[in-house]
Amino acid sequence: MTGKPGNYRYRILDSLISAPALKTIGLKVLDGKRITPEEGLTLFTEGELGFLGMLADEVRIRKNGDAAYYIRNYHIEPTNICVNKCLFCSFSHHFSPTKWELNMDAIIEKVEKLDETIRELHITGAVHPDRDIHYYGELLKKIKSIRPDLQLKAYSAVELDYMIKKSGMNFTDGLTWLKSCGLDSIPGGGAEIFDENLRRTICGMKSSAATWLEIHETAHRLGISSNATMLYGHVETPEHRIDHLERLRNLQDRTSGFNAFIPLKFRNSNNKLSNIAEVSVVEDMKMYAVARIYLDNFPHIKAYWPAVGRKLAQVSLSFGVDDLDGTINDSTRIYSMAGAEDQNPVMTVSEMKELITGAKRTPIERDSLYNFQLPPSLS
């Protein structure tokens, strides 16, 4: 047995793991070496949860110690009127019993009412057929004129693809202009699953995987950081998951522009895939753990607590996760409309800290770009 005898994880690996393939993978991870797609697939198909949790925990500690991050944030979802008809979606007007379209004045009114401690405004929603980049750029400008301190994390790659092309721009010019309007970073939504055949089946009208990756790469090269996601637990296989993670890892090798990866659990209420049972808690934790192990160049793995609930988000901190997103302030409906247990997602800072300390982690308040120094008004 090679390794570092002083590290108890090596001793656990030596004494409890008998499968040669898993032991080899475990040693690579403990030694800080990159695993291959084939080894990632082995973790999904053969790795027991305790083993995966141990390895993911090692990577988490190596990158972030016992820190667990959160942010004071607010979501604005401008509309659910959408050009796309994704089978897993419970949010768009195609499948939802409600239909809304906030005009710019209504959005600005929400911004004006925000508590001054809110640090990040997350703006994303459906792909409206009539709105182009000029509308969304002006929205950013108006928000910044009111709250220049707010970090604007806005518009998924799917939204950007539509609005930029509608305006006759290329991605570089469109993103450059949005940055000049106040765009600070891009959320990770719209990635879903990258496999082209599967993507055609469940969201065939949506931007392609290649386009999603191109937009994020362009943003990174312009100094706009972003997050990345994967929708898991529907009709995808472990092979599809590893392919998705591999494409993200390759892009991060080129740009280092991703802040965090966020596994997003498929919820089966009120959509065209409602016949598919939701995956188990064990599968949720395996997804977090394998993501943390595989994405060795991603600084953070986030559990989006409105998707899985508070308790499971807390459990995920033992499976490689180091970020629980934020306070949300009951400002998003995407997961509540899909049947998530928390129909009114809001968590106070005190509740967030309690959740984190209950998992034996140290709560650290951050901003959108993972800066940790609080402004004077919050310290």
**Residue 63: band (very low, low, confident or very high) from pLDDT cuts 50, 70, 90:** very high
Q: Encoding tokens for residue 246?
A: 């591999």
DSSP code of 322?
Answer: -
State the pLDDT at residue 27.
Answer: 92
Q: In what order do the strands lie in the sheet with 120-123?
A: 73-76, 120-123, 151-154, 185-186, 225-232, 258-265, 300-301
Hey, is 309 helix, strand or coil? coil
Count CB-CB contacts under 10 A for residue 147.
Answer: 17
Q: What is the pLDDT of residues 124-138, one digit of tens each?
A: 988 889 999 999 999
pTM of full prediction above 0.85: yes
Q: What is the pLDDT of residues 162-208, one digit of tens each?
A: 999 999 999 999 999 999 999 999 999 999 999 999 999 988 889 99
* Tokens 């898991």 found at: 232
CATH of 67-365, one of 1.10.3720.10, 3.50.50.60, 3.20.20.70, 2.30.140.10: 3.20.20.70
In sequence order, the β-bridge partners of residue 151 are: 120
State the pLDDT at residue 374.
Answer: 55
Residue 2 has pLDDT above 60, yes or no: no
State the pLDDT at residue 330.
Answer: 55
What average pLDDT does this structure show over 66-71? 96
Q: Encoding tokens for residue 290?
A: 């394998």
How far is 369 from 263, CA to CA, in rounded Å? 19
Q: Indicate the domain borders of the chain.
A: 8-64, 67-365
Count CB-CB contacts under 10 A for residue 350.
Answer: 8
Residue 50 has pLDDT above 80, yes or no: yes
Q: What is the DSSP string of 43-74?
A: HHHH--HHHHHHHHHHHHHHHHTTEEEEE-EE
